[in-house]
Structure 1
């Protein structure tokens, strides 16, 4: 199973050579402001960069925060923390294919945005 991912401008592209072990959603303000709160977790060895790795720029936060964030320099797409550790966190929003897993946990649930659960009755429009 190969899962492809990319940024908005297409400059950064990657593949996952195995399905993610799990998916989770973080509701902290930092994840929301970074543009993604859902992450898939995969072994670092399963991530292969196809193009644009040099386009990634990183934001390293000050303590007590510890997760480095990677973004495309051209379009700003958030990739999560794809280069730290043996298991890496990839923003689910940059996956082009269905990862085959769904969120099984929520972090910082008390910090969830008040508007996060207001769309259940919203209309769905065509593309």
Structure 2
């Protein structure tokens, strides 16, 4: 099983995640743009049961930050954890986005990722027939 390590910029918050992500995405929404200071965010989602973190974090609207350096780290919702993949120690990662969210806000000079699902706004869970 692959273990991945990550941390904030100053190293006060550290985490480990085990195994492959459930999904990997890119988001172009206003919140993600503002929080990253960039055109999008790149994230992976894992089961919370394979995630461990150490160090003090601050919570703002469900998102955890390092209070010392301000790095956006992760958020936990239900039994999943969403990790900002830029905080992984190994870069570049082998994770390829399988979907993009809020493509209506994507910069016109950014091309869609080949093979990735394109969602006008939020990702919709598959319907159960």
Q: TM-score, normalised to structure 1's length?
A: 0.75
2:78 to 81, 85, 91: 85
Unpaired runs of at least 5, structure 2: 112-129
CA RMSD of aligned residues (A): 1.7
Query: Match of 1:105?
Result: 99
Structure 1 moving runs of 4+ over 4 Å: 114-117
Unpaired runs of at least 5, structure 1: 61-67, 118-127
The structural deviation recorded for 1:84 is 2.1
Aligned partners of 1:75, 1:115: CA distance in 2, in Å?
A: 31
Q: TM-score, normalised to structure 2's length?
A: 0.74
Equivalenced residue count is 106
| 1:99-127: CA deviation from partner (whole Å, max 9, x where unpaired) | 5321010000011134546xxxxxxxxxx
Task: Give the match's secondary structure for 1:40.
Answer: strand
